[in-house]
Amino acid sequence: MKKIIILLAVLLSTYHMFGQDTVSVVRVNQQRTFPNNIPAGNYSGITYLGDSLYAVVSDKSPHDGFFLFKISLDSLTADIQDVQNLGFKTDSAINGDLEGIVYVPTSQTFFISRESDNTVHEYAMDGKRTPRQLNIPAAFHRAAVNEGLESLAYQENTQTFWTCNESTLKGDGEQATAENGVQNRLRLQSFGPDLQPLHQYAYLMDKPEATRKAWVYSDGVSEITALRDSSLLFLEREFYVPSSKLGAFVSNKLYRVRPNLSLPVEQDVVLTANSPYLDKQLVTQWRTKLSLFNHEIANYEGMCLGPTLNNGSQVIILVSDSQDQFGGVLKDWFKTIVLK
């Protein structure tokens, strides 16, 4: 009887969080790569412009700017059929470790997050930077190198921007490693159409899967995407590479959160185990790995809403960072997930 009561309590809690408005997975399509069409890159962010057209940023392109890709999907399954590179729109600024990109239809401009200085600037359709930028709160300048503003999202219906630090900020606790089992404590920040900060929320990542020393290790939120119902998708990504290289894996977990149902936090208040962390609903998860006969390991860093299918299902597009196809092993993978 006690177990039944506990189960009912969990179900009621979930209903209270999300009501009947939950997100379900229709299909998780296999990842695809198109080496003959797409140059080896460090693709770290993607946004949808409509009519199969996407803007994609690379965190190691020579200058700030973005690629234009045409991504063709199967009209029924949303499986990726083809990806074509339509060119690079550039600015004169030296690349600032571009990580997230969103398209704003009303202004026909892009906002791009630069992890090198944790800023988010606006860019015109020709790739040139405008004078406008988000007013980033001071807390995010406590980010460790390469652990800052990795993600960027935009909700068109509310004209709200969202960003989040990749790993725990200095002062908020210890960062997760492959050996310490620590859960990263992150800050989600919203901005209004005037580009000024609105609310900040606390997000707690899952405990790392890795338990042994790593040659390369990264555990953080690599991207967030805004859904049309004002909820957000968080991509938790754990990238583990042992010294032998074989046995490397990337664990991906896609969570949905509802900031409008949660309590905000103040940026000058330290995050602790008792902070009001966002409730999260697991949508789907997948894992890629590197072994002697399997080279399908994929470090997904870019994610965005794609088209809506005729049956009303929503397509999510993902792109991976191959580090310029590092070692001739990594590939530039693309993937779609269909939600309802």
pLDDT in tens, 16-60: 444 447 899 999 999 999 999 999 999 999 999 999 999 999 999
Q: Cβ(249)–Cβ(290) under 8 Å?
A: yes
Which pLDDT score is estimated for 17? 42
- Give the tokens for residue 248: 């490397």
Measured distance CA(299)–CA(250) in Å, rounded:
6
Radius of gyration from C-alpha coordinates of the chain: 19
CA-based end-to-end distance of the chain? 34
Which pLDDT score is estimated for 8? 38
Model confidence band, residue 93 (pLDDT cutoffs 50, 70, 90): confident
Please determine, for residue 1, whether its predicted confidence score (pLDDT) is greater than 80: no
pLDDT over 70 percentage in the chain: 94
Please determine, for residue 11, whether its predicted confidence score (pLDDT) is greater than 50: no
DSSP 3-state of 142: helix
- Per-residue pLDDT averaged across 256-265, rounded? 95
Strands (E), 242-299: 249-257, 280-289
Q: What is the pLDDT of residues 179-195, one digit of tens each?
A: 999 999 999 999 999 99
Please determine, for residue 6, whether its predicted confidence score (pLDDT) is greater than 60: no
- Per-residue pLDDT averaged across 150-154, rounded? 98
Which pLDDT score is estimated for 14? 40
Q: What is the pLDDT of residues 306-315, one digit of tens each?
A: 999 999 999 9
Amino acid at 318: L
Which pLDDT score is estimated for 311? 93
Model confidence band, residue 4 (pLDDT cutoffs 50, 70, 90): very low
Give the mean pLDDT of the chain. Answer: 93
Which pLDDT score is estimated for 40? 95
- Per-residue pLDDT averaged across 74-85, rounded? 97
